[in-house]
Amino acid sequence: MRKDGTYRLPVREVVEFNSDTERVKEIMQSAGSGIASVHFIKRSNGELRKMAYRLHVKNPKGVKAPSGMGDRSGIGTAARHARDASKDLMTVYDVNVQTKNADGDVVRGGYRMVPLDAVTQVTVKGNRYIFRR
């Protein structure tokens, strides 16, 4: 227990050198439907983004689905996965972001794309993977 009365899980650090995007994707997918965190460099402006994410989130209330998410957009999930793979992206559900839905209500969570080639750190199931490139 820490001085403020909260608990913190022990984290085992694993440093990986020159990991390819498939290895990063494998580690991120190992979270299953649980919550994990990822740090990556945004492609648009070079900023470091930190986010807690979940996978396999379907139809969250009030959140717009990403393009290619099933029948609602028309291109299908397989096509979205193929598009993500060709651009080294992974679609995740950011659990901390707050957005407004069509009615103007504040909802928590939203889909985001993570560039796998820019991931610097993933924490999943008590293990922190640090990627050095």
The ranges assigned to domains in the chain are 12-132
Q: What is the pLDDT of residue 94?
A: 92
In terms of average pLDDT, the best of 84-93, 102-111, 123-132 is 123-132
Q: What is the pLDDT of residue 123?
A: 94
Does pLDDT of 1 surpass 90?
Answer: no
Average pLDDT, the chain: 83
Spatial distance between the Cα atoms of 15 and 5, rounded to a whole number of angstroms = 30
**pLDDT confidence of 37, banded at 50, 70, 90?**
very high
Tens-digit pLDDT profile for residues 43-56: 999 999 999 999 98
Tell me which of 15 and 69 has the higher pLDDT: 15
Q: At a CB cut-off of 8 Å and minimum separation 6, what does 130 contact?
A: 13, 14, 15, 16, 120, 121
pTM score, whole prediction:
0.78
Q: How far is CA 41 from the centre of its chain?
A: 13
Q: What is the pLDDT of residue 48?
A: 96
End-to-end CA distance of the chain: 35
